[in-house]
């Protein structure tokens, strides 16, 4: 049995202990199921050092924290929001990716990623517009992990539009969450690189789909949809992709979905060597490439899902105000918008709904978020809509 030290936030006075707790020499101090009601005693024991079986600790650590969080939320009658669920998915995926060099994490990757896939699907089901807006407005944190969660959101929404069964959708979303598992740290390095790739870097880049699929197999994943999507997510139907230059029907549908999600999310994210493109420019590129490198049917469902003015896009109106697209409108070119800045750049106390079908509020141009020196409070824009118990089913796992 391999022991790992228990952290202070793993235990709460008055809760039942979920693991046998040992000292640093392996001597049993507190048996599983015992209640430690004395907070001062628990603090002293933690300072001295409490240890639990590494595998059991990893398996239940997230569950125990989530259980306490859910209990507090239920007591306060404030369930998680779509934003909260997706931010939590980013944190959990980051933690898992950091542990993948450890055998126990590899053995649990299928279980953990499946839970995250359920959470992403629940968040998208609860509010698709907010989920899309997260991709555009919340670009903080580690890029490699954030990118996979964002791609999972887009993949989930495209699957919904295609009418995919829940099980197949879960496999595809899981693939998006792990598509770059073979290059996490390498991808972080590339994000900051300003010069062209070396031959060695290009070779490393083109190996990562197969490396990732091999890592997943070693972790016990045997889902053919999941594995094939990871292996093929850089293949293109015109044969221009890698690593195998597959053509046409050789590229699976799941891989085509993940590939498009990967492409869109990458284009709307800034890198050291280029700025992000506006989401409508990224969409135009997808329209131009459909039927060539991008599957035409999947591209059509993607455009239908996000629209030409996706939620979260920042726009300047005819009156000079800057607003945030919140939802689709009666026409594709007249989305619902809430203004957050006056024409002279002053922040409005409250976001104000504007009818973009009216001339003075018509959309004049898109605005680069990096040029906007203000934080967009998503709850102030979309309200405090929360997931119901049914929508948040993935959070109970």
pLDDT in tens, 68-121: 454 444 444 444 688 888 988 998 898 888 877 665 556 678 888 998 999 999
- 41 and 153 in a single domain? The answer is no
**Residue 337, domain member (yes or no):** yes
pLDDT (tens digit, 9 = 90+) per residue, 320-332?
999 999 998 888 8
pLDDT digits over 276-306, tens only?
Answer: 565 566 666 776 676 677 899 999 999 888 8
**How many domains does the structure of the chain reveal?**
3
My answer on whether 289 and 198 are in the same domain is: yes
Same domain assignment for residues 188 and 223: yes
Q: Please indicate, yes or no, if residue 241 is contained in any of the structural domains.
A: yes
pTM: 0.76
Residue 121 · residue 169 · CB < 8 Å: yes
Q: Which of 138, 117, 95 is nearest to 379 (CA)?
A: 138
The 10s digit of each residue's pLDDT in 173-210 is 999 999 999 888 887 777 777 778 888 888 888 999 99
User: pLDDT-based confidence at 372, cuts 50/70/90?
Assistant: confident
In this structure, are 123 and 222 located in the same domain? yes
User: 340 or 65: which carries more pLDDT confidence?
Assistant: 340
Same domain, 187 and 288: yes
Task: Give yes or no: residues 101 and 135 share one domain.
Answer: yes
How far is the C-alpha of 81 from the C-alpha of 88, rounded, in Å?
10
Residues 136 and 237 in one domain: yes
DSSP three-state, residue 204 = helix
Residue 279: the pLDDT is 59
Q: In 246-335, where do the E strands start and end?
A: 314-317, 322-327
Strand order in the sheet with 3-5: 3-5, 51-53, 21-22, 28-30
Same structural domain, 369 and 297? no
Instruction: Confirm whether 144 is domain-assigned.
Output: yes
Q: In the predicted model, what is the mean pLDDT of the chain? A: 82
Q: Domain range for residue 359?
A: 314-377
The residue behind tokens 């131009």 is: 288
Do residue 164 and residue 129 come from a single domain?
A: yes
Residue 72 included in any domain: no
- pLDDT for 210 equals 95
Q: What is the pLDDT of residue 102?
A: 61
- Clarify whether residues 369 and 253 are in a common domain: no
For the cut 70, the answer to whether the pLDDT of residue 31 exceeds it is: yes
3-state helix, strand, coil in the chain (%, to 5): 55, 15, 35
pLDDT of 388 reads 59
């Amino acid at each position: 049995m391999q022991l790992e030290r228990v952290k202070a936030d793993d235990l709460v006075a008055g809760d039942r202990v979920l693991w046998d707790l040992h000292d640093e020499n392996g001597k049993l101090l507190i048996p599983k199921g015992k209640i430690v009601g004395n907070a001062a005693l628990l603090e002293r024991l933690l300072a001295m050092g409490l240890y639990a079986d590494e595998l059991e600790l990893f398996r239940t650590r997230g569950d125990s924290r989530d259980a306490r969080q859910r209990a507090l939320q239920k007591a306060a009658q404030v369930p998680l929001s779509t934003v909260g669920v997706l931010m939590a998915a980013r944190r959990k995926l980051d933690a898992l990716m950091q542990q993948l060099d450890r055998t126990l994490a590899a053995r649990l990757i299928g279980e953990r990623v499946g839970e995250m896939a359920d959470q992403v699907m629940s968040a998208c089901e609860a509010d698709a517009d907010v989920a899309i807006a997260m991709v555009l407005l919340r670009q903080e944190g580690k890029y490699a992990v954030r990118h996979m969660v964002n791609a999972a959101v887009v993949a989930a929404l495209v699957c919904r539009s295609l009418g995919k069964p829940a099980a197949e959708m879960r496999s595809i979303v899981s693939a998006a969450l792990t598509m770059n598992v073979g290059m996490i740290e390498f991808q972080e390095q590339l994000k900051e690189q300003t010069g062209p790739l070396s031959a060695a870097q290009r070779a490393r880049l083109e190996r990562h789909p197969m490396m990732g699929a091999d890592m997943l197999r070693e972790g016990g994943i045997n889902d053919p949809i999941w594995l094939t999507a990871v292996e093929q997510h850089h293949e293109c139907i015109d044969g221009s992709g890698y690593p195998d230059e597959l053509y046409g029907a050789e590229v699976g549908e799941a891989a085509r979905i993940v590939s498009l999600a990967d492409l869109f999310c990458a284009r709307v994210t800034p890198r050291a060597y280029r700025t992000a493109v506006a989401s409508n420019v990224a969409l135009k590129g997808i329209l131009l490439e459909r039927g060539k490198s991008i599957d035409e049917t999947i591209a059509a469902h993607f455009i239908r899902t996000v629209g030409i003015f996706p939620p979260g896009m920042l726009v300047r109106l005819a009156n000079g105000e800057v607003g945030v697209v919140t939802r689709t409108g009666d026409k594709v070119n007249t989305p619902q918008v809430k203004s957050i800045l006056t024409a002279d750049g002053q922040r409005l106390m409250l976001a104000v709904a504007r009818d973009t079908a009216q001339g003075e509020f018509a959309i004049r141009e898109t605005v680069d978020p990096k040029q906007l020196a203000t934080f967009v409070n998503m709850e102030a824009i979309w309200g405090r809509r929360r997931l119901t118990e049914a929508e948040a089913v993935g959070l109970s796992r």
